Structure 1
Amino acid sequence: MIKRKFFMTFIVFFFLFPLQIAAETIEEPDVSSEAAILMDAKSGQVIYGKNEFVRMNPASITKIATAIYAIENGVLSDQVVVSEQATKVEGTTVYLEPGEIVSLEKLIIGMVVNSGNDAAIAIAEHIDGSLTNFEKNFNVYLQDYIGVSSTHFENPHGLYGENHYTTAYDMARITQHAMENEIFRSIFKIQEYEWDGESWDTTIVNHHRLVLGEFPYDAEITGGKNGFVSQSGFTLVTTATKGDLDLIAVTMKTNLKNEPYAETLSLFDYGFNNFKTEVIPKGSKFTVDNEEFVAEDDLIYTVNIHDKVSNKINPSGVLSIYNGENEQIASFNLKSLSAPVTKNITDENEENWQANGFLGTMELAILGVSAIIVVLVIQKLRKRA
């Protein structure tokens, strides 16, 4: 009998908590880079993080930010005159010549695909007139427009500077914003480009090995940028898509050249195998305490496919999403559809009149009763006298 009770208890427990048990068995990827993050590009939720808020030097992944800044603040068909200062920059270049005229679009491609530092400076000088103005405007754009809070860039290319820093989280947010732009997306995934320059006529090849397809993978690699300076080690940003899930992986600071690629694939495996993007469609309605609310936009959030998800709405119209451990994973503000209660002035006056009339009647009745009592008492006293 005892065994039967134990068996029944086990069965009940199994059916009540299967999703929570499955969710706990998921192994997170083993990442050796000092910082890393995996983000759902649609929801912006962090799926995996390691030191993702620690400030670090980004090296050439800085150029992701420079590219989207130039696309959104410049005209791609503009013809840019390359300065002598741009041609004297250190590091990787596309061998621009002083006075050479190149379109802004071509410079952005040379900067992203071949990591041209000279192209980055030519872009900055064209957009803002000088590197000083560029640094000021660039950081305002990143902080106020994109909304990152732990990033400051001294230059457009990513060569080391004491005040040139970002975080894995901020780089993922910058990339998330950039990937919303169709022009950026088309440049970010270029594998090869025919470069016809004044002193350099060649085919430039993307330095990002996953973009080139060197590592076979069952998800689509939609773009990427690598970076290296001795102070930052190897850094890598990669985007990928599979089904309805779009992911952004960032790894920062390792001295092993191939490690960022292996770790990125491990991060993608973890994300694609265990998570999905859910959407509550725009216009969905919810009722709380007889008050109706509506979603003004699509509400997008990321969930573990092994987990049990629930939601709650408070009286203020805040929709919160919880996982199986009752941890909040997302929240959204809904719009109230309940019209504010307003009283017609005439009705309000009528109510006041009725209330005042009722009170007046009660007061008169009390006075009348009181008068009768007084008269009866006086008559009784007179009879005794």
Structure 2
Amino acid sequence: MKYYSIFLMLTISVFFFFPAYHYAEDNSPSVQSESAVLMDAKTGSILYEKNSSARMYPASVTKIATAIVAIEEGKLDDIVTVSENARYVEGTRVYLEPGEQVSLIKLVQGLLINSGNDAGVAIAEHMDGSVEDFSKRMNQFLKEKVGIHDTNFVNPHGLYHDQHYTTAYDIALLTSYALKNDTFKEIFSTNELEWKGESWDTVIYNHHEMLTHRPYEGIVGGKNGYVQKSGHTLATVAERENLTLVAVTMKTNLKSIIYKDTAALLDYGFENFKTTVIPSTKVFKDKQNNNYYPTNSVYYTHKINEIIKQKVTNEGELLIKGEDNRVLSVTKLNPVAKLSDRPVSVLASTSIEKEQGESKNLVLLVSFIIVTGSLFGIFIYSKKMTRQRQRDPSN
């Protein structure tokens, strides 16, 4: 009875191993920036945040907004005449000259790649006659098209003004929106560009160091910024396989910290998350056995090997949750009168949960077999040695 009690205690202890495995220690990144957020660009899921709704001064990260407004609402082949006001704006410039004529697309390139404040003013004055009126257009665009509600810009370049503010979350949302535009994405990703101007011919280089001096695997593009009041700010996009991440870090005193924080955020995202797609050909059933289908493919981002739960709600929505009950996706579904009207495969409400949990369950099963087998072997060996000592009193 003694041996069986020991074996039972050892076997029970195995089950304490699984919760420790299942609920691993939090591995969230250590971020020194005052405000930061990591967002999945496809789904808008927040994978990490630190004071992401705090109002911050964005500096030149503002130029992401200026660029996407110019691209979507301007005519890129327009010829812009540079004003005195644009020529003498302070800060980083592409050295435009008064009266110089430049295409709008070239100004957007100078704005995003070389962070030209003069290009920003030239864009604003061309599109709306003044920096003030362009800023009104920009704020309206951000609210109506991007869905941003805690940002107010008073200029196109990001030079300090106490009423020129945003949040890390808003910048991530803006960047995710802008990435959908191919023209923006191409310029945003440009490392260097030959520049021929009236006063100088040169090569302009992207100021975001992950595109130049600090290469990062999967880097897509980015925009940096700095003024004294804002500290260093950074918006960065990286992509690996089917996961596109937007990292925004705001307000540090040292440039090295803002890049270190950004790399830590991206590493955390790529090492711990994945994006899964449910095709629009899938049909779902609710508890009453009614059939539904999504209009478009459904994307959701979740932890790797996480057990996913899904159900069709009474409102006809597909609700997808993670294992800690956090909402990953809510998608309005379309009812199907007859399944034969839509000849596609049926996905039961438990199939995703089973699919996502299979690899984790396999690891747990193998671990259980190994540990239990080892304990059983120790038990048998111990019992055998005891019997041997009983037969040989000299030991």
Report the equivalent of 1:309.
Answer: 308
* CA apart distance, 1:13: 5.9
Question: In the alignment, which residue of structure 2 is the partner of 1:128?
Answer: 128
- Which residue matches 2:371? none
| Alignment correspondent of 2:257 | 259
Matched to 1:283, the amino acid is: T
Identify the residue that residue 354 of structure 1 maps to in structure 2.
none
Distance 1:157 1:38, change over 3 A: same
Q: What secondary structure does 2:255 align onto?
A: coil
Structure 1 equivalent of residue 55 of structure 2: 55
Alpha-carbon offset, residue 222 of structure 1? 0.6
Partner of 2:230: 232
Correspondence 1:3 to 2:6: yes
Distance 2:331 2:9 in 1: 43
Separation (CA, whole Å) in 2 of partners of 1:171 and 1:3: 59
Partner Cα distance (1:38, 1:215) in 2: 19
> In the alignment, what sits opposite 1:100?
100
Could you tell me how far 1:131 is from its partner in structure 2? 1.9
Alignment-derived partner of residue 284 in structure 1: 282
- Per the TM alignment, residue 321 of structure 1 is displaced from its structure 2 partner at its CA by 1.6
The sequence identity of aligned pairs, in percent, is 49
Contact 2:209 2:215 (C-alpha < 8 Å) held by counterparts: no
CA distance in 2, matches of 1:157, 1:325: 42
Please state if 1:20 is matched with 2:22: yes
CA pair 71-216 structure 1, distance change in 2 beyond 3 A: closer
Indicate the residue corresponding to 1:293 in structure 2. Answer: 292
Q: Of the two, which has the highest radius of gyration?
A: 1
Structure-1-length-normalised TM-score: 0.83
CA 328–2 in structure 1, closer or farther in 2 if over 3 Å, else same: farther
Deviation of the 1:12 alpha carbon:
5.0
Residue identity matched to 2:265: L
Letter in 1 for 2:240: K
Q: Is the 8 A contact 1:19 1:308 kept in 2?
A: no
Partners of 2:317 and 2:333 within 8 A in 1: yes
CA distance in 1, matches of 2:306, 2:173: 26
What per-residue deviation string (whole Å, max 9, x for no partner) do you get for residues 333-354 of structure 1?
2122248xxxxxxxxxxxxxxx
Which segments of 5 or more consecutive residues in structure 2 lack a partner in the other structure? 339-395
Contact (CA 8 Å) 2:52, 2:168: kept in 1 or not?
A: yes
What secondary structure is seen at the aligned counterpart in 2 of 1:236? strand
Number of the residue aligned with 1:349:
none
* Residues 74, 294 of structure 1: alpha-carbon distance in 2 compared, 3 angstrom cutoff: same
Contact 2:29 2:268 in 1 (8 A): yes
1:191 aligns with 2:194: no
How far apart in 1 are the matches of 2:330 and 2:22? 21
8 Å CA contact 1:19, 1:306 repeated in 2: no
TM-aligned CA distance change 1:9 to 1:336, over 3 Å: farther
User: What's the CA shift for 1:19?
Assistant: 6.7
- Are the aligned partners of 1:29 and 1:266 in contact in 2 as well (CA < 8 Å)? yes
Separation in 2, partners of 1:236, 1:329: 26
Q: CA deviation at 1:329?
A: 2.6
Distance in 2 between residues matched to 1:2 and 1:333, nearest whole Å: 55
Judged with a 3 Å threshold, the aligned counterparts in structure 2 of structure 1 residues 3 and 324 are, in CA distance, closer, same or farther, namely farther
Alignment of 1:261-276 (within 5 A): 261-276=259-274
Q: Is the 8 A contact 1:20 1:307 kept in 2?
A: no
Tell me how far apart the structure 1 counterparts of residues 157 and 215 of structure 2 sit (CA, whole Å): 30
Could you tell me how far apart the structure 2 residues matched to 1:144 and 1:330 are?
22
Deviation at 1:206, TM superposition (A): 1.1
CA gap 1:26/1:307 in 2 versus in 1, 3 angstroms: farther
**2: distance between equivalents of 1:327 and 1:210?**
32
- Is residue 108–residue 119 contact of structure 2 (8 Å, CA) maintained in 1? yes
Compared with structure 1, are the counterparts of its residues 310 and 157 closer, same or farther at alpha carbon in structure 2 (3 Å cutoff)? same
CA distance in 1, matches of 2:137, 2:218: 34
**Counterparts of 1:188 and 1:116 in 2: how far apart (Å)?**
14
Shift of 1:173: 0.5
The TM-score with structure 2 as length reference comes to 0.81
Q: C-alpha separation between the residues in 2 aligned to 1:32 and 1:84?
A: 41
Any idea what the Cα deviations from partners look like across 1:215-242, whole Å, max 9, x if unmatched? 243x221101100000000000111111
- Report what 2:321 is aligned to: 322
Aligned residue number for residue 82 of structure 1: 82
Change (3 A) 1:58 1:299: same
Offset, 1:243: 1.2
Q: Is the 8 A contact 2:70 2:123 kept in 1?
A: yes
Query: Do the aligned residues in 1 keep the contact of 2:107 with 2:119 (CA within 8 Å)?
Result: yes
Q: How does 1:170-249 map to 2 (within 5 A)?
A: 170-212=170-212, 214-217=213-216, 219-249=217-247
Shift in alpha-carbon separation, 1:6–1:319, aligned structure 2, 3 A: farther
Shift of residue 330 of structure 1? 2.3
> C-alpha distance in 2, partners of 1:144/1:184?
19
SS of alignment partner, residue 9 of structure 1: helix
Letter paired with 2:9: F
CA RMSD of aligned residues (A): 1.6
Structure 1 segments (4+ residues) deviating >6 Å: none
Task: State the alpha-carbon separation in 1 of the partners of residues 197 and 325 from structure 2.
Answer: 59
Equivalent pairs counted in the alignment come to: 334
- Contact 2:292–2:336 at 8 Å: present in 1 too? yes
Contact 1:19 1:307 in 2 (8 A): no
